[in-house]
Amino acid sequence: MLNLLRRTPPADPLANPAWPELGRQMPLLAGLSDCEWWRLEARMRHFLAHKVFHGVQGFALSQRRLLQVAAQACLPIINLGDKAYADWKEIILYPTAFVSRIPWHDQAGLVHEGEWVIAGQARQDGPILLAWPDAQRGPALDGRNVVIHECAHKLDMMNGTANGFPPLHASMHAADWTRAFEAGFADFSGRIAQGEAVSIDPYAAENPAEFFAVLSEYFFELPHLLHDQYPAIYEQLRQFYRQDPGERLPLIEPAGLY
């Protein structure tokens, strides 16, 4: 049986003296303007006041850990508003990677279900599940951020099942989004099928929903790499998230190829 722990944040969790230094230590947040910092902290206060955190399998929650998750989760929505995450309530933190039953389709279209060891999961009409070691490593600028990945799925789910087509702003055009993402997904999945070495996580080729979530990670962590490889997708994500990480983050070369 899971050892379920629950902790409710205080009225102003950002009054914690650990927060200013913790925020400065996150490369993910480098270059934020004073206005962007203010918006990030406003989103974090709302997030921590309205989300319920659970630690399972003996994982101990702490204010520092909640702040680390909240900062990563709220960066994508600093210009989207608190309602962007209104459709879900809970975050479950595991001490390590965990086993989850996940359905999958074979080449004939038949649905199967198997057990997979994973670092994160966003459940339709349910919580976000995170493995703490991966969430803790998230702020490093390496293109791998499980918190942003799962939160991107939640944004994608705002108009139904995650499919790589989240609800767009009125100023955006569905045809532009579709053109950019369909072409990008076809190109990337084709490169993976041919065994080509790539600088973006091959998991992005799994399906359009994972393509959107993985590329959201790269948008916030390695924006220059994403812009160089898929400029049309970068532009769509810039419009969708209403921010441009490429303007504030330094140019970082990827650690290697997959």
CATH number for position 72:
3.40.390.10
Query: Looking at residue 176, what is its pLDDT?
Result: 99
Query: Looking at residue 1, what is its pLDDT?
Result: 40
In a domain, residue 19? The reply is yes
3-class SS string, the chain: CCCCEEECCCCCHHHCCHHHHHHHCCHHHCCCCHHHHHHHHHHHHHHHHHCEEEECCCCCCCHHHHHHHHHHHHHHHCCCCHHHHCCCCEEEEECCCEEEEEEEECCCCCEEEEEEEECEEECCCCCEEEEHHHHHHCCCCCCCCHHHHHHHHHHHHHHCCCCCCCCCCCCCCHHHHHHHHHHHHHHHHHHHHCCCCCCCCHHHHCCHHHHHHHHHHHHHHCHHHHHHHCHHHHHHHHHHHCCCHHHCCCCCCCCCCC
Q: Report the SS3 class of residue 168.
A: coil
Beta bridge partners of 100: 116
Total-model pTM = 0.92
In a domain, residue 127? The reply is yes
Q: Encode pLDDT of 213-240 as tens digits.
A: 999 999 999 999 999 999 999 999 999 9
In a domain, residue 61? The reply is yes
In a domain, residue 31? The reply is yes
Q: What is the pLDDT along the chain (258 residues), one digit of tens a residue?
A: 445 555 555 568 888 888 999 999 999 999 999 999 999 999 999 999 999 999 999 999 999 999 999 999 999 999 999 999 999 999 999 999 988 776 655 566 666 566 778 899 999 999 999 999 999 998 899 999 999 999 999 999 999 999 999 999 999 999 999 999 999 999 999 999 999 999 999 999 999 999 999 999 999 999 999 999 999 999 999 999 999 999 999 999 888 889
Q: What is the domain count for the chain? A: 1
In a domain, residue 255? The reply is no
In a domain, residue 258? The reply is no
Query: Looking at residue 111, what is its pLDDT?
Result: 62
Q: Report the SS3 class of residue 104.
A: strand
For residue 226, give its domain range: 5-247
In a domain, residue 254? The reply is no
In a domain, residue 52? The reply is yes
